[in-house]
Amino acid sequence: MNPMNSEQGTSCAPAPARADRPGSPASGRPDCPPGVLELRDRVDRFVRERVMPREQVLDAGGPDAAAALRTLQDEAKAAGLWALPLPVEFGGQGLPLAHYAHLAEAEGASGHGPAALGSAPLLDVLMLGRHASAPVRERLVPRIVAGELRTCYAMTEPETPGTDPAQSATRAVAGPDGTWTLHGRKWFISGAGEADLVTVLARTGGTDGDEELSLLLVPTTAPGFRVLRELPVLGAGGQWEIALDGVTVPPDHLLGARGQALRIAGERLGLGRTLRCLRWLGQAERAFDLMCARARTRTQRSGPLADRQLVQQLVFDSLLAIRTTRPLVHEAVAELAAGRSARLETGLAKVAAARMLQQVADAAIQVHGAAGLGPDTALPGLFRTGRAARLLDGPDELHIASVARRVLRDHPGAPGVGVTS
């Protein structure tokens, strides 16, 4: 069962949701069922009270970060907040996309929120649930949902354009017994340094053409698999480069049919981009709250920053950016929840949300002054995410061109203008 299109979900008694006050960037959300409002408020409190205070430890990586994440995951399970959108058949709670979208903003206000609450592997779980062989699905997917195994997705390569996976140079060759042997390099892979399983896009035949690309599930303990280096993004870690030097995997680790990589990848793209947008909204709201708190409490000889017109301009522009972006994102959610491709809607939402997060984080840094550049607030990380957002899942230019071509292709043309006397 796909929880993203299911009406099965978690139901809770109604309770007031946080921050739905006049002037809040959280105002203007689409209607949300009362039970989901209460659940959103619980997720919001968990992220703010438990995840955010541990962010510095989690950001540092290493054994301390792993222990802190395990503690948070145990707390999320005890609170009944674990794996909310993941399929029930694999151990999740089956919250449908239309409901989970209301929680994803609160969950994503911290970059560690999805991992702490067990929703981070959603795309991989849905992909494996649909396309993995029965033995792989039954053996591995419940363990992924339970948080026992960590996954990542490897498509981009150092020497080929990330926007054109058809140029992938990584190869997988099938032996006489069907065993696959992989050779190649992949980079900018989120979480690869701690992953147990990586889905690899590789060429499985020929030298050119989309039909020659396949997806294979590779255990990171396999001989020949190497983590080459961590790739800091604007100074922060979390992305990795890997090598596949003669890695072998069994025949049943092929996902779907041979040559179906781009079709399978396309299934996760729309949802993946929309989930990112929802989380970026949560992060922008966090930056906005920090900016307003700073403006109200920081006082100079001439009075509080909140009285300065240029600061008021930054607040207004940031609020406008958040409020005008949210409907675009939720329009994409509605299209995906209805089972439609939503390519135009996700393209618009992705560009708008990435720009919005960078704008709001930048404004918050400006209001904080030098303090906004240092380690005492979340703002450097939020700005870094906003800047990287304009490249993740395709650069802005790719989405702009794709949306414009689609609009122009489908436009009926200028209506005729007739003048009669």
* Residues 47/113, Cβ–Cβ less than 8 Å: yes
173 near 145, Cβ under 8 Å?
no
Which three-class secondary structure state does DSSP give residue 172? strand
pLDDT at site 210: 52
At 356 the pLDDT is 98
54/116 same-domain check: yes
pLDDT for res 13: 30
Here the tokens at position 135 are 């033995």
Tokens representing 374 are 């240092």
Domain co-membership, 174 together with 229: yes
**Segment holding 216, helix H or strand E:** strand 213-219
Q: Which of 230, 255, 280 is the last residue of a domain?
A: 255
How large is the greatest C-alpha to C-alpha distance in the chain, in angstroms? 84
Q: Does a structural domain hold residue 177?
A: yes
Q: What is the CATH number of the domain that holds 45?
A: 1.10.540.10
- Least Cα distance to 184 among 212, 154, 151 occurs for 154
Number of domains, the chain: 3
pTM exceeding 0.75: yes
From first to last of its 421 residues, what are the pLDDT tens digits of the chain?
A: 333 443 333 333 333 344 455 566 666 567 777 789 999 999 999 999 999 999 999 998 889 999 999 999 999 999 999 999 999 999 999 999 999 999 999 999 999 999 999 999 999 999 999 999 999 999 999 999 999 999 999 999 998 877 788 888 999 999 999 999 999 999 999 999 999 999 999 999 865 555 689 999 999 999 999 999 999 888 888 899 999 999 999 999 999 999 999 999 989 999 999 999 999 999 999 999 999 999 999 988 888 999 999 999 999 999 999 999 999 999 999 999 999 989 999 999 999 999 999 999 999 999 999 999 999 999 999 999 999 999 988 899 999 999 999 999 988 875 554 444 4
Instruction: Please tell me what DSSP assigns to residue 416.
Output: P
Considering just the CA atoms, what is the radius of gyration of the chain in Å? 23
- CA distance linking residue 95 with residue 101, whole number of Å: 10
Cα 101 to Cα 32, 85, 194, 231, 279, distances in angstroms = 10, 9, 27, 30, 9
Q: 43 and 97, same structural domain?
A: yes
Query: Quick one: 114 and 194 in the same domain?
Result: no
Are the C-beta atoms of residues 284 and 25 closer than 8 Å to each other? yes
Residue-level pLDDT at 208: 55
140 is a domain residue = no
Alpha carbon distance 180, 200 (integer Å): 12
Question: Do 232 and 282 sit in the same domain of this protein?
Answer: no
CA distance 371 to 385: 18
Specify if 235 maps to a domain. yes
**What's the distance, Cα to Cα, between the start and end of the chain in Å?**
64
What is the pLDDT at residue 224? 97
Which CATH number does the domain housing residue 397 bear? 1.20.140.10
Same-domain pairing of 112 and 48: yes
Alpha-carbon gap, residue 131 to 255, rounded angstroms: 5
> Domain ends where: 206, 235, 255?
255
Question: Is the same domain home to 370 and 404?
Answer: yes
Contact indicator for 3, 88 with CB cutoff of 8 Å:
yes
Is residue 419 domain-resident?
A: no
Asked if 381 and 59 touch (Cβ cutoff 8 Å), the reply is: yes
Same domain, 125 and 191: no
H or E element in which residue 15 lies: none
Q: Which domain holds residue 166?
A: 151-255
Q: Is residue 417 part of a domain?
A: no
Q: How many residues does the chain have?
A: 421
Q: Are residues 241 and 308 in the same domain?
A: no
Query: Quick one: which H or E segment has residue 355?
Result: helix 343-368
pLDDT at residue 325, rounded to an integer: 97
Cβ(305)–Cβ(363) under 8 Å?
A: no
Is 26 within 8 Å of 18 (Cβ atoms)? yes
Is residue 143 included in any domain, yes or no?
no
Q: Residue 184: which of 197, 198, 203, 165 has the closest Cα?
A: 203
Q: Are 8 and 14 in contact (CB under 8 A)?
A: no
From the list 208, 167, 164, 206, the residue with the least C-alpha distance to 184 is: 167
242 contacts 189 by C-beta, under 8 angstroms: yes
Q: Is the domain of 211 the same as that of 249?
A: yes
